[in-house]
Structure 1
Amino acid sequence: MSRRGGGGGGRRSDSRRDQTSQAPGPSLNRGGGVGRGGGGGRGGGGGRGRGYGAAAAGGSGPASEPHSPAAFPPLASPSPSASTSAASLSQKFDQSLTLQSPAPVRRQPSDPVRPQPQPQPPPPVQAQPTPPVPTQPQASSSSSSQPQASSSSQATGVEVPPSTSKAITFPRRPGYGTVGRKCTVRANHFQVQVDDREFCHYDVTITPEVISKTLNREIIKQLVDSYKVSHLGKRTPAYDGSKSLYTAGPLPFTSKEFVVKLVKTDDEAGPRRDREFKVAIKLASKGDLYQLRQFLSGRQLNAPQETIQILDVVLRASPSNNYTVVGRSFFSTQLGTKGELADGLEYWRGYYQSLRPTQMGLSLNIDVSARSFYESILVTDFVGKHLRLRDVSRPLSDQDRIKVKKALKGVKVQLIHREFAKRYKIAGVSSQPTSQLMFTLDDKATRVSVVQYFRQKYNIVLKYPSWPSLQAGSDSKPIYLPMEVCKIVEGQRYTRKLNDRQVTALLRATCQRPRDREGNIQEMVRKNNFSTDKVVRDEFGIRIKEELTLVDARVLPPPMLKYHDSGREAKVDPQVGQWNMINKKMVNGGTVQFWTCLNFSFRVQQDLPSGFCRELVNMCASKGMVFNPNPLLPIQSVHPNQIEKALVDVYKQSMAKLASMGQNGKQLQLLIIILPDVTGSYGKIKRICETELGIVSQCCQPSQASKLNKQYFENVALKINVKVGGRNTVLFDAIQRRIPLVSDRPTIIFGADVTHPQPGEDSSPSIAAVVASMDWPEVTKYRGLVSAQHHREEIIQDLYKKTADPHKGVIHGGMIRELLIAFRRSTGHKPSRIIFYR
């Protein structure tokens, strides 16, 4: 496992493109999180939702601060209302921080773990349709939360029930918020009403086993059409495409096996024959709506997931048969205009759908969505677009052939030169050009070339004999398909990572104003025709209102921001979520003593980078940073083909220069990079600088290097200050120690998540990331650790671990311990409270 610490909060330090764009104000105007995200900017430690948070963060190292920090009020004594678990946890972490094994504390068998008494929720401030639904909190504080994982018993020596045990109950919501201006908003939730029915769950086994959910649905549809009246009691079931089938009322049997025949269509490859499947249906369980109604009314803590799952499958049954299914979303050209994404891809519009229990009852959450698909075009046209070929008559290089193979492997194509358009799945691309491919005819005696075969059999003269052919079938019995007679089958989603160009095109096409988005969501609901769907309405008794749900809301007052007292404006009250750096100075300016610049752009003339850097340095200094105006090494312009060599050379030259100056142990503090004119090199530059050389870098767009725009320089200066350990602004309430559950005692805030490889990448590891705050009470600087772990493993394996040492005994370790030690070194405090976002 490899780990690397990183700095930064708000927007994670260079985890994504860090060039700024022209905007009315500096890059501070993106407010609170949306979805399950938040927690401090894009990529911060909050979660994985589509969130945007206020950017205010620091680096991983100590900052040289020309501005003295604001004075803080004295630390308040611990509140007597805090639970004793926080003090106990603090003592145990104290032991592990000093590399001592905690003394084991064991509960007696007669002393079972009991959940803390749950307070009853007070009356809400505003009238609500039903009491609040108990939900699992996303963040837990050690001063109030109970033990929740078996690993905690290993860490503390206390036996606790596992996290899945029903002995653990989460605290109820204490009440409703009252701060802010009250208003009513429309939410993309549609209320669902269900008649009282008896639901039955049946296990489905299809033999031979089928992986494709689409084919599974075909089989069950054929079964229902054939046996609905004779064997299914005239019931129309809902099927999830896998192993479960649901009905509203019991079938006339508890277990039965059916034989289903599917007629093979002419567009499918291989010999024509009907396919026969055996389908076994067996009763698994019965359920009703009683527990769901108890849960929605607040009289039951645990949500009846099986009942909710049944209703969700019912509502997804019809769209699953009509549209292309991707996870919880549906896509189709019938749901909106498709558009081009470049390089042979297009986007389809669709919608996300999920049934949720809410305070107002069951609710169907629907949102518009878009997804990348292969264009249904000739394979030759796709190759030309994907490789951006100007001359399609030239042969493809080995590198191009590998790119085509990677892009098209597993994609279905159909032949266009025959009366019946047979379909094949691409297994690869031939290593030889089509003109050199030979194969044996069915008589097993005659060998012909592919070019000759198409000329004799179909009277077709191939136009691209120098290109390789697509290969279907197996390696032992390959089927060669010239690219020019193959067309990509419509409706196949692209599962690999989009490039920068495609991401930009997709964002531009899907960005909508709230009113337009609302209209599109309502249009999706109308197209679904839930009110006329016989299975939804008549069979299962489900009715859905087509109006958006009205929700009581509050517009919270924006927090006041504190800047340095030497600026004209030391405090700012943001208006409409926006503010800028005019008349303000960074609250703590960082120091950059050793820096230089590399220009990889042809567009930027040789004398421009010096002027660009001079203006940028002046802006940083004017905003409160200590910035040496002279670069450590001369500013260089380098060919974009030499990116890696140039970066390594700069690193070696800077180390040698610092050693000659007697600055042993020091290194380059900042490398300003003007990006190449062609996109696609940003990730490579960041990977080399951040993970191989350990250099803090700031990338800038070549189009900005010649404009010398003041607003752009302000935005970049804010980014640089954070990266070198400075602090742009802090919350005024943090300085006054007025943030609840944070300011009253030393508090560390963690965030953790696991990123999995793209579908289709079966060997790549999953990456676990954990970040933690490194200052208090400001909570603006974060340190991050990453760790590679098993493929698609969701549990963070390196979060806590212990090893046995023959001399020291048991040694506690892992990312949590490492960050706790860093917090103590940075703040001088051991955390008395831990808040963990997961």
Structure 2
Amino acid sequence: MAGPAKRRAQAEKETPATSDSHGSGGNAGRGAVHASSPKSIPRVDGNRDPADRAPIEYSRPNDLKNLSEFLGLAGWYAARGRAIPESLPQRQGLNTRGREALVALNTFNVNKYPVAIVHQYDVSWGPETDATKRVLLKKIWASKAVKEALGEPKQLWIYDGNKLAWSGFKLNRDELRIIVDLDKEQGRAPPSSGKKNVHKVFIKHTRTIDFSGLTAFMNGKAGWSGECIDTINFLDHVLREGPSQKFTQIKKSFFQRGEQRFDLGGGVEAFKGVFASLRPVLTGDGRKILSINVDVANGTFWRAQPLGKAVLDVLGLGNPAQFVALVQRSKADWDRSKLKKDLARFKRVGVTDNHRRDVQNQWTIDSFVKEDCHEATFADPDKNGKRITVFDYYKDKYNIKLMAGLPLVKVTKKIRGGSVFLPIEYLKIDPNQRFNSKLDDKQTSQMIRFAVTLPNVRRQAIMEKVALLDWKNDPYLRHFGIDISTDPTVSKARILPVPQLGFGPANRPSVVPGSDLVQGRWRLDGKKFFAPQSASRTLDAWGVCAIQGKFGVNPEQVQAFIKNFIRIYEGHGGRFGPKGKQPYICPGNLADGGELVAKAYNATGNKFNARPMFMMFIVNDRNVDVYRRIKKSCDCRFGVPSQVLQSKHVQANQGQYISNVCLKVHAKLGGYAAVTKSTLLPTITKQPGPTTMIIGADVSHPAPGAGSDERASFAAMTMACDKDFVRYWAQCQTNGNRVEMVTTQNIYDHIGDMAKAWMSTLNQGHPPQRVLYIRDGVSEGQYAAVLEEEVRDIKDCFAKLGVALEKIPKFTVVIAGKRHHIRFFPQKGDRNNNPIPGTLVETGCTHPFEFDFYLCSHVAIKGTARPIHYQCILNEGMYKQDELQQLLFEHSYQYVRSTSPVSLHPAVYYAHLAADRCRAHTNENPVSSGKKEAKAEKKSTTGSSNRSVEVRPLMEMAKVQGLKETMWFV
């Protein structure tokens, strides 16, 4: 399956200048890629590879990408050559609370790993080789010249596709130089341009890998060391070497030829592969071993079809004539047109020309240009450099008549120094190419249908993928003496006890039956909300705007829904003022644009002769642009809480749906529905009731694809603002472009505001004694940055608020990870055989020594439940292991907008919501001329280049009615 991509890369390197593809000049090589300046902690994702080919040093940030994950925080400190902090929390023991349950995991233990010494080599290339083209490097590595020089197949070598190689054989010299002539090996004549396809490979011995260091570490007799890192890195690559030669590899996943495709629409298809990754783990009997995590991988790929058909699919057009008309309308402002933006998703897609039967060349798309075949010209070498149109060239040379009006495709290859333009009609997308852009709503829906499988089906699929990997017959595993069990690990899990969950009123709470909590679902029928609205937010002056058009609601349907809403909300304890029983109802017109909200808001205000305190909008469909337009006006222009409803639900007018709407409305008006009371936590903690602040944080990045290197990332931070940890404040701001760490300024702004309010309203002006900081969305390699940058900044923030050094709170920092491949298959689960809420796993997949665990706190309605991986990386607050685990589980029952526990702690769940909602607050107005204020721009270095990208701050939320103090984001 990897063949087409390899052939394409090689073709781009080898195509002679006499090729009948038009263009001018010889092959233009890519400029040197400069190494990033060394940093102890990378602040951006995806650093580029340095141009220098110095031997790998893990202390260089760019070299860390070669490492496997699951080293733990100590392993990453060791990899960077830095001292491991004494404050790093270690596992305290296993939780004994609740009851025991057996859970099968999708991990497979390594029974045996090498004992003989393995030699590690650095691989570098001569200046004539473009080292950024990984497929080309693999092609050279697989050449006959290299294989003979390295003694293969007698001596098997492992190559990481970049600059590391390993062998059990030591070369008889410190550095080996190999010359590879790819033209000669493939029986090709040298190109007439004289540019030879010859490459130099330098293989230099750098170190030996002795497995005794890893053994000592696993036995607890030695800490992390460079030798351990080398060993884990080597074993991880050995695991992937065999599959990478048989299947299409995408990072740590492999996709087999012939898998059944699933059409997602828009020229994209999905099929299943296998994910496999090595990790050191703790066993149930206390041993530390290596294990392989195997899971089903779901990949999205471009459909192999004519490029013209793919373009129509992506644009949702029925025929080429519609495309031509769209191009003509977009030409006047091509560079800023939506069409060019949509077509940009084809960048780096490989295609093959098919205008000739005898020879076909492979190319890589760079962009689409607005010129068609009659407008674009080039110097034709067959006519002594005379300029000729693309249309005339194809007509004269191939007797092909190209279609007028279609934009041409500019490819990455240059000929004789000039760009090459090809017609869409005679290009076909090569098979098995990953689709890297964000799926649209329809494709996402289809992808969920494809990916979601029940636990028993997923477990069977995993076992089939284990058989596909065929470890017993893998020549590389056998060669290095590695033996892996094909039986999944079984862990002794714990089912944590559920808390009590009480609805209101607060002075006479009603408790949800424990059986409902164990099952993970309860009803709102007949229940009063625990905490009422804020006194100032009793609904009196409020309005309802029903947007007209297709699928819109009529006035009778609106009246019926509002009548039912008021009745049900009052039944839950909602309060309405004297005029609130009849809101102002008005129609809305999308043609009004941004004034739609203003008209409804002003009309409501005029009706009640007062500032509206709440607005409800009924929309016709799930159009995200309409939703964000409404939220932007309500949040930033008028400062009014708002609720958006779909017309189909208003028409259905069902009580259960309305009760769920009441949950959101009630939270936005200052109340909450239920609160948990722990029967276990008071018996665990011996602290004399210390005041605790809970902070959540998340940074969300733009979806991959065209333009993502110019768009903003968003940092959201939340803080519990009541003694029961139910209500939260949230603040959000742009955070550069793909900058993962929350910037210092954002922390000062967000935490400064919220901590000051917390101290004045909850603790009589005093700071908390403990802070529980739950951070989402960072990889293992960035844990240290959370401590050294974000936690440092938050502590500085308390100092700036006047808190004395000795009163700075003690921090406990927990990373909540959901992007992993661990799954639970309980011996006895719920009706779908998913884990019961509160299932805690601490062995079989966890770090051998560090303080981490997997917790499944929710019920999966569809598919296989994904537990959350929690890792405590700082514990100044001295949380006991069972105390922290129980707290995280119990708080999942307090999520204000659902009647079930949620998978992720609410602090970070709300940060997700706030980060997504604040996309509606983007400031898209052009920057005025003249001097910008300091706060008018945020600059960051992107992860894909060294350009400085300006990212605008968000529009500020209106301050007229204290919206920021509500749960505006739910």
- 2:746, 2:622 → 1: CA distance? 45
Question: Which one of the candidate residues 411, 426, 429 is aligned to 2:365?
Answer: 426
Question: Which one of the candidate residues 219, 235, 247 is aligned to 1:323?
Answer: 247
The residue that corresponds to 2:25 in the other structure is none
The residue that corresponds to 1:589 in the other structure is 532
- Matched residue type, 2:586: Q
SS in 1 for 2:355: coil
- Tell me the CA shift for residue 311 of structure 1: 0.6
- Matched residue type, 1:621: E
SS in 1 for 2:462: helix
Question: Which one of the candidate residues 455, 477, 485 is aligned to 2:418?
Answer: 477
The residue that corresponds to 1:305 in the other structure is 229
- Tell me the CA shift for residue 569 of structure 1: 4.0
- Aligned CA distance change for structure 1 residues 195 and 165 (closer, same or farther; 3 Å): closer
- Matched residue type, 1:210: A
TM-score norm. by structure 2 comes to 0.63
1:386 aligns with 2:331: no
- Matched residue type, 1:415: D
Contact 1:324 1:331 in 2 (8 A): yes
What are structure 1's unaligned runs of at least 5 residues?
A: 1-47, 49-132, 139-147, 150-161, 802-812
**What is the correspondence of 1:57-68 to structure 2 with a 5 Å cutoff?**
none
Larger proportion of helix: 2
The residue that corresponds to 2:859 in the other structure is none
The residue that corresponds to 1:367 in the other structure is 295
The residue that corresponds to 1:248 in the other structure is 168
Q: Bigger shift: 734-743 or 723-732?
A: 734-743
- Tell me the CA shift for residue 520 of structure 1: 1.0
**What is the correspondence of 1:199-214 to structure 2 with a 5 Å cutoff?**
199-207=118-126, 208-214=129-135
Contact 1:266 1:421 in 2 (8 A): no
- Tell me the CA shift for residue 261 of structure 1: 2.7
The residue that corresponds to 2:778 in the other structure is none
- Matched residue type, 2:116: R
Contact 2:380 2:386 in 1 (8 A): yes
- 2:90, 2:635 → 1: CA distance? 44
The residue that corresponds to 1:561 in the other structure is 501
1:294 aligns with 2:216: yes
- Matched residue type, 1:291: G
The residue that corresponds to 1:191 in the other structure is 109
State the Cα deviation string for residues 186-232 of structure 1 (Å, max 9, x = none). 101011121312122211112224213222222222267532565x7
1:580 aligns with 2:580: no
Question: Which one of the candidate residues 84, 87, 93 is aligned to 1:166?
Answer: 84
- Matched residue type, 2:755: L
- 2:313, 2:457 → 1: CA distance? 32
State the Cα deviation string for residues 226-267 of structure 1 (Å, max 9, x = none). 32565x794222111112112235333322222223249899
- Aligned CA distance change for structure 1 residues 490 and 655 (closer, same or farther; 3 Å): farther
Contact 1:594 1:670 in 2 (8 A): no
**What is the correspondence of 1:420-569 to structure 2 with a 5 Å cutoff?**
420-442=359-381, 443-444=383-384, 446-462=386-402, 464-472=403-411, 473=413, 477-538=418-479, 540-565=480-505, 569=510
Contact 2:731 2:750 in 1 (8 A): yes
Query: RMSD value over aligned CA atoms?
Result: 3.6
- 1:742, 1:785 → 2: CA distance? 31
**What is the correspondence of 1:787-826 to structure 2 with a 5 Å cutoff?**
787-798=733-744, 813-826=748-761
What are structure 2's unaligned runs of at least 5 residues?
A: 1-44, 46-69, 284-288, 331-336, 776-970
State the Cα deviation string for residues 468-521 of structure 1 (Å, max 9, x = none). 222225698332322111111222222222221111111111000001111111
State the Cα deviation string for residues 405-437 of structure 1 (Å, max 9, x = none). 322222221112213221222222222333444
- Aligned CA distance change for structure 1 residues 436 and 364 (closer, same or farther; 3 Å): same
State the Cα deviation string for residues 292-348 of structure 1 (Å, max 9, x = none). 2222223334373321111111112223333333333333444x3221111221123
Question: Which one of the candidate residues 600, 610, 613 is aligned to 1:650?
Answer: 600
1:402 aligns with 2:340: yes
1:635 aligns with 2:592: no
The residue that corresponds to 1:602 in the other structure is 550
- Name the structure, 1 or 2, with higher relative contact order (CA <8 Å, separation 6+): 1
- Aligned CA distance change for structure 1 residues 719 and 466 (closer, same or farther; 3 Å): same
The residue that corresponds to 2:280 in the other structure is 357
- 1:327, 1:773 → 2: CA distance? 38
Question: Which one of the candidate residues 567, 570, 577 is aligned to 1:621?
Answer: 570
Q: Bigger shift: 679-688 or 422-431?
A: 679-688
Give the total of aligned pairs: 665
SS in 1 for 2:109: strand
Contact 1:655 1:668 in 2 (8 A): no
- Aligned CA distance change for structure 1 residues 757 and 403 (closer, same or farther; 3 Å): closer
The residue that corresponds to 1:39 in the other structure is none
Question: Which one of the candidate residues 414, 417, 421 is aligned to 2:352?
Answer: 414
- Tell me the CA shift for residue 404 of structure 1: 4.3
- 2:774, 2:510 → 1: CA distance? 34
- Tell me the CA shift for residue 771 of structure 1: 2.0
- Aligned CA distance change for structure 1 residues 199 and 602 (closer, same or farther; 3 Å): same
- Tell me the CA shift for residue 543 of structure 1: 1.2
- 2:135, 2:148 → 1: CA distance? 20
Question: Which one of the candidate residues 259, 267, 270 is aligned to 1:347?
Answer: 270
State the Cα deviation string for residues 431-477 of structure 1 (Å, max 9, x = none). 23334444442224544433343333223333x42222222256983
- 1:392, 1:743 → 2: CA distance? 74
- Tell me the CA shift for residue 532 of structure 1: 0.8
- 1:447, 1:312 → 2: CA distance? 55
- Aligned CA distance change for structure 1 residues 178 and 209 (closer, same or farther; 3 Å): same
- 2:687, 2:414 → 1: CA distance? 62
- Tell me the CA shift for residue 693 of structure 1: 5.1
SS in 1 for 2:518: coil
Contact 1:333 1:349 in 2 (8 A): no
- 2:82, 2:669 → 1: CA distance? 43
1:258 aligns with 2:208: no
- Tell me the CA shift for residue 527 of structure 1: 0.9
Contact 2:307 2:425 in 1 (8 A): yes
Question: Which one of the candidate residues 706, 710, 726 is aligned to 1:780?
Answer: 726
- 1:639, 1:741 → 2: CA distance? 60
The residue that corresponds to 2:304 in the other structure is 376
- Aligned CA distance change for structure 1 residues 486 and 533 (closer, same or farther; 3 Å): same
- 2:650, 2:186 → 1: CA distance? 60
The residue that corresponds to 1:809 in the other structure is none
